[in-house]
Amino acid sequence: MMRRIRSQVDVRSETFQRYRTANRARISEFRRRQEQARFERPERDMERLSRHGKLFVRERIERLIDPGTPFLEFSSLAANTEYGGESKSASSITGIGIVSGREVIVRADDPTIKGGAWYPLTIKKIVRCLEIAIENELPVIHLCDSAGGFLPLQAELFPDKYLAGRIFRNQSILSKMGCKQLSLVFGHCTAGGAYIPSLSDYAVIVRGTGGIFLGGPPLVKAATGEVVDADTLGGADVHTQISGTADYAVDSEVEALLLGREIVGQWTRGEKTQIETRQPEEPFYDSSELYGIIPDDIKTQFDIREVVARIVDGSYFHEYQPDYGTTLVAGFAHIWGFKVGLLGNNGVLFNDSSLKAAHFMELCNQNRTPLVFLQNITGFMVGADYEARGICKDGAKMIMVQSCSEVPKFTVMINGSFGAGNYGMCGRAFDGRFVFSWPNHQIGIMGAEQAASTLVDVKVRQLERAGQELTDQEVEDIKRPILESYEKELSAYYATSHLWDDGIIDPVDTRNALGISLSASLNAPINETTYGVLRL
């Protein structure tokens, strides 16, 4: 029997109240930005949709998924710092939903933004959602309505390995794996976008508005001189009666969505991987108390157990090696009934905490227990004494075991993520199934103050060797722009804008996001784990 965590938090304390006020302000700002990205569109664009008998992209998704079921959206604030803010949510909606009782990935173009044209970060977001489908062996539903690539940025769209071609490669891999794909074509699928329905197992196209063509009418005219309208070139009747590129023609988007649900309802349900589960139970402590636990200053330490207590079932936690390597907390718990192995930071990673983490992850792989990482890490310990003890070697053990783990891995960036600590704790580069961030999160090689001080010190020594001396004001003038740049690029909004995570979430939603993610991950098998060479 696991023990319930005994919280030490005083919810009436001045510190708790101060933290709660600061975090509620953060959440208010996050919600404001998210609502703006999700729903704020020029009136003319919404009128254009209505004039053509089209639904807004989020209404399409709402009608597609089963009533009363959740939709876990990915990267709702993607591209929020780029392109002058015009590509809201990177012009594409992606996430996990339930359609006809089946877990699916939904990918939807947003035609209110440049006709659904793909920006560079749109492509990155689409590629990422198809990676999620591959990793978790999930079927995909494409809601297609795109003018194709955003041509002014064409050099960033097409040539490299993880750009547009990767979308169609990933679709092909999904088909090879037996993961079904359905395309509902509401608008144009132009240029490379034409391959999305062409590579899908099923395709439904709406008469009058849907179109599939490698080159639209303007390109056809420019390339061949042929003058042809969109419907004649690649409309619903062409592709369902002549070319066979699509399977069903319908007269409205509502009909397309109903037919899509019917098609998904015919899909065979796969067997899920079995892991240890029990009856779900709400945490004993109120999850909203997380607002009073996370400090208002990134440098202020807090006990990760207090976070665990407000995420896991019943607040029960079996802590592993509680008296060893105490700057890392590890142990077993359940989230929505699924057993997990949790690793959370209570300070810098020393030799002992690194070894503890490596051993605990080995146990989780042995027991087929998914891993959840709660990141609040400044890095591995530095200094002559620690180098002599082999901190690089012990840190490498942690990284090796984590990298080679076959159980599903999930990461939540709950505060800081700096230096190589990001690596050991399953940062983005280490193929976690999902990576979520809280609005207070910061990520970088080091903190802003450390980076600015380091760079200024290097500059001052360079000038001193040249016989120049700087006043305190001149040193400050050098330091200020470095600090400003770092503070911008360390923020959760900058990180999520570039898809370094799968989205910012409200801390109180962490348990639900992990529960949906855990369930989705079990559509894929868990293979036997083998490791590389561990330097002993």
Same domain (yes/no): 75, 139: yes
Residue 31 lies in a domain: no
Same domain (yes/no): 295, 251: no
Same domain (yes/no): 49, 167: yes
Residue 384 lies in a domain: yes
* Of 306, 300, 294, nearest in space to 19 by CA: 294
User: What count of other Cβ atoms lies within 10 Å of the Cβ of residue 525?
Assistant: 10
Domain that holds residue 428: 287-441+504-521
Q: Quote the CA–CA distance of 401 and 341 in Å, as a whole number.
A: 14
Residue 402 lies in a domain: yes
Q: Count the domains in the chain.
A: 2
Same domain (yes/no): 307, 217: no
Same domain (yes/no): 235, 331: no
Tell me the pLDDT of the chain (536 aa) as tens digits: 799 999 999 999 999 999 999 999 999 999 999 999 999 999 999 999 999 999 999 999 999 999 999 999 999 999 999 999 999 999 999 999 999 999 999 999 999 999 999 999 999 999 999 999 999 999 999 999 999 999 899 899 989 999 999 999 999 999 999 999 999 999 999 988 999 999 999 999 999 999 999 988 988 998 999 999 999 999 999 999 999 999 999 999 999 999 999 999 999 998 999 999 999 999 999 999 999 999 999 999 999 999 999 999 999 999 999 999 999 999 999 999 999 999 999 999 999 999 999 999 999 999 999 999 999 999 999 999 999 999 999 999 999 999 999 999 999 999 999 999 999 999 999 999 999 999 999 999 877 777 778 877 887 888 778 888 878 787 788 788 888 888 889 999 999 999 999 999 999 999 999 999 999 999 999 999 999 999 98
Q: Quote the CA–CA distance of 331 and 246 in Å, as a whole number.
A: 51
Same domain (yes/no): 405, 318: yes
Measured CA distances, 448 to 302, 477, 485, 488, 492 (Å): 20, 15, 9, 9, 14
Residue 109 lies in a domain: yes
Same domain (yes/no): 68, 189: yes
Q: The pTM is what?
A: 0.95
Same domain (yes/no): 224, 292: no
Among the three residues 264, 296, 314, which one is the final residue of a domain in this structure?
264
Residue 196 lies in a domain: yes
Amino acid found at 440: N
Q: Is 178 exposed, middle or buried (0-12, 13-18, 19+ CB in 10 A)?
A: exposed
Q: Quote the CA–CA distance of 331 and 535 in Å, as a whole number.
A: 25
Residue 347 lies in a domain: yes
∠ CA 129-132-133, nearest 5°, is 90
CATH number for the domain spanning 240: value is 3.90.226.10
Residue 486 lies in a domain: no
Residue 398 lies in a domain: yes
Same domain (yes/no): 251, 126: yes
User: What count of other Cβ atoms lies within 10 Å of the Cβ of residue 97?
Assistant: 21
Same domain (yes/no): 334, 401: yes
Same domain (yes/no): 249, 310: no
